[in-house]
Chains A and B, each alone.
Chain A
Amino acid sequence: MIAPSVTNFIVRASYSLDILSMTRARLILPPLPVSAAGAPTHLRALFERLFAEYHTPILNYLYRLLGDPALAEDLTQEAFTRAWNARRDLPGLDNPRAWLYRIATNLARDHVRRARLLAWLPLLGKELALIEQGPEDVTTESEQMRRALLKLTQDYRVPLVLYTCQELSVAEIAATLGISIDAVKQRLVRARQQLREAYERQ
């Protein structure tokens, strides 16, 4: 298993040193005052349902994107914390699942961007390479495929994982990524081609 611990620690630290993230709660859900209209209770119920239904898929989605279970769990927390902070948008959402995946995808992108920014550090640069390449002694087809997947760029890896692993539709992926349906289709085509080539090169 890839264990890019130091990189992830540093990257998480860089999140925390961000002034905005300093004030970010970490899945700490303070009790909402229950109004006479019952609106907060309604929001909480909505959120809890969303959490119950999607926290495992989101966790695995992030794991497949990033390859680090601990990091995936941290980012899942972050994703649901952000979702909680934006809970008042929930009733008006057409597709809450796409909304959640968009949050998770943005977090994953931020993480990778920060990791790349920190990659000039000798140790971190080495660990970043490990994220992207994985160990050499891989034997199972699944593991080989996972390694091949990690060699895809974010633009192709994300829609492919959303489509194949998370079973989102093309339209949901478009909503998640904020791009057109045709663009999603185009990326899926190229992602599959690149994955096949990467797999065959191993």
Chain B
Amino acid sequence: MTQHVHDQLAYDRDLTPDERRAVDAHLATCPECRAILAAYRRQDSALAAMPALRPSRALNPRVLPFPRRAVARLGDGLALGGLAALLWLFALQVQSISQAGPAQPRTPAMIEPGIVIPSTSLQLPSPWLAALPWVATALLSVGGLFILTRRSLIPTIIGGVAATLLLISFVPPLSALPNPVGVYWRATGGYAYDPRLPFKNSFLIAGSPENQIRPYLDDLIGQTGLSPLDPNQPLRRYEILRVGLHPDAPRTALITTHFVYADGSSRVYPVPLFDPTVDVFGFWLGGWRADGLQRLRSVHLAFPDQPFAGPQSSIRLGAVRRLNLQSAANRLDEANPSHWLWNSARVNRLVYAPDGRAFLMAVEQKAGQRQLWVVSLNDEPPVAVGPVSDVREYGWSLDGRTIVYTRFDPDASAVDPTHPFAVLAVAAPGTASVSARSAGPVTLVTGLNTDQLPGLTAEGAWFFTNDALWRAPYDGGQPTLILQDVSSGRAPRPSVDSQRVAYTCGNAVCLVDVDSTNPSQVKGNLADEMAWSPDGAQLAVIDRDPNNLSAVRLIVLSRAGEKRWEAPIAPRDVTDPPQWTPDGNAIFIQTFPQEGRRIIAANLATREVLDLSREHWDTYFTLAPDGRTLLLNNGRGDFWEVEVLR
């Protein structure tokens, strides 16, 4: 009974009348239970005396302040958005990892029938993806802070800072200010943005290159030409896909553009814009001064005495076709700003192998550093020749087994700065190495005063040093003395039979038999380049004014040194060496007048000099060994072949 009453005292307010009477009766006789009840009463009093709260105004459902409501929803939304974005990124990452196979070759993507779009051009980083981690993290952080500190100004402040960072990172013109994303891209590279999207980081790029290039691209609509135009299909339309920076030349913007031609074929080419008004890293810039298409837009006019070849000309060019080379070969040197300078630009040189199965070209990796490549005309990847260095001139031995090139030699320059050049030889791909001692390039001679290519015969390379003419075997063995007491001799060109040699002597051309008989000298300006005819009966000499003030002339000499013909071939500037057709009736010369490279052909039979170049070509070329085609490349990717009609 006592225990039961003890329990009832704990909820004595809810006792029935009968229970109440029973409890009261018990309490009257039980001091222990009275003490318990008193203790419970004290509990009740103490608990009732606990401070009570008055509701704040926020608890009024009708007057809940809007900002607080909005902040609460904003925090939730931001956090959810950030979380979703991060989850999406994570899913993309998982997907890419799951799809990545071991060392799978990348398949070029076809986006329209016709020309293959190089996969490298389509794999530029998406600016959305690049920005997404920043945006997602910012959203999640700010949203989380909103949630965590709903009664504080901290999230507002941090949100404001984050919003400011996002604004100055992605919203022009604010994004021209220094900002973390820009600094990150500057440090790591890979900067690019999609001009079709509303934001970009302007800290790394001046103005809007895409807007500047559009009028120039518009001018090319309906035109034919070489890359990025098509020689046979007029350009129908274009679309700018990306704007980025040249990986090795941050002053150059690359506007990756999709060109679509009349037959539906297409290609992607990174149109360059370079030389900004102040600096690509500048604060706020006015624009860009030059672009990689400028030379294609220049008016194509014939020079005096070098008319364009017409349908009835004795030498003319036929149909152009695109060479089906490996994608990697087609991309060689396609984004080298040096090709697109408005002035005379002899940046590259194509040199056919004697067997016509491959050609040489150099690719500038960075200023003064070039990689020599052998590009096969078959479906084989290009092969790098020797290490990257300051490669100058290059060519093949007559048998095609050896590649010879000149380069600047820092060691030689340290000894004598006036004689800094070296000649190296390396085996052509697929042939045995030139030396049993080394599989790589072998230095034939160093300490020369010219970077011109030495004379190349089957036996070795011919060069002048110490007032004597020498011939070094391609295996790096001891040179053979050919001629003595030849002062100021330079660039020897031995005839095919190696019995007679022509060379530059001062401002004249000197010829002499290798046994020092039958010397001859032809006065001129400056014999820049020379080449013997295939039969060795004639010598083509490029005669150029050293002051570059008068026309460049082609002089054809007999083997004995008699002048047979002379004609202007260019207004000024250097040229490539003359290239003879196998029959010795025509000479092709690459010239480099301003704003458009020319293909000059000299017909010895008709005494004509014709300009075979076409509008929007601006191309380098090399004559095929059989004399029937020219290989073309204008420094904007892709290679073309055109038939020579005579």
Contact = CB atoms under 8 A, between A and B. Distances in A.
Given A22-B80, A188-B11, A77 B47 contact: no
B40 interface: yes
Contact of A63 (B6, B53, B59): B53
A10 interface: yes
A119 B52 CA distance: 28
Contacts of B61: 27, 29, 48, 51, 80, 84
A17 B72 CA distance: 12
A145 B59 contact: no
A29 B59 CA distance: 12
B392 to A, nearest CB: 66
A127 to B, nearest CB: 14
A72 B39 contact: no
Interface in A49-94: 51, 55-56, 59-60, 63-64, 69-70, 72-73, 76-77, 80, 84
Interface string A1-36: 000000001101100110000100011110000000
B144 A142 contact: no
Contacts of A146: 46-47, 50
Nearest to A167: B13
Interface stretch (A96-104, A109-117, A130-138, A189-197): A189-197
A167 B14 CA distance: 10
B474 to A, nearest CB: 74
A56 B53 CA distance: 8
B151 interface: yes
B69 interface: yes
B124 interface: no
B69 A55 contact: no
Nearest to B146: A16
A55 B55 contact: yes
Contacts of A195: 43
A48 B56 CA distance: 16
A188 B13 CA distance: 12
Contacts of B150: 12
A56 B40 contact: no
A145 B47 contact: yes
A13 B147 contact: yes
A151 interface: no
Contacts, number: 112
B53 A72 contact: yes
A163 B53 contact: no
B18 interface: no
Given A9-B149, A28-B69, A63-B53, A164 B44 contact: yes
A155 to B, nearest CB: 15
A107 interface: no
Interface string A139-151: 0011011100100
B599 to A, nearest CB: 70
A56 B55 contact: yes
B59 A69 contact: no
B64 A73 contact: no
B437 interface: no
Nearest to A28: B69
Given A9-B148, A26-B64, A26-B69, A170 B11 contact: yes
B55 A76 contact: yes
A16 B46 contact: no
A123 interface: no
Contacts of B56: 73
Contacts of B14: 169-171
Given A28-B69, A59-B59, A10 B148 contact: yes
A165 interface: yes
B143 to A, nearest CB: 9
A73 B58 contact: yes
B7 A55 contact: no
20 contacts: A16-B147, A17-B79, A27-B58, A27-B61, A27-B64, A29-B61, A29-B62, A51-B61, A55-B59, A69-B53, A73-B56, A73-B59, A141-B46, A145-B46, A146-B50, A163-B11, A169-B13, A170-B14, A188-B11, A192-B43
Closest 4 CB pairs of A and B: A145-B46, A189-B10, A142-B49, A16-B147
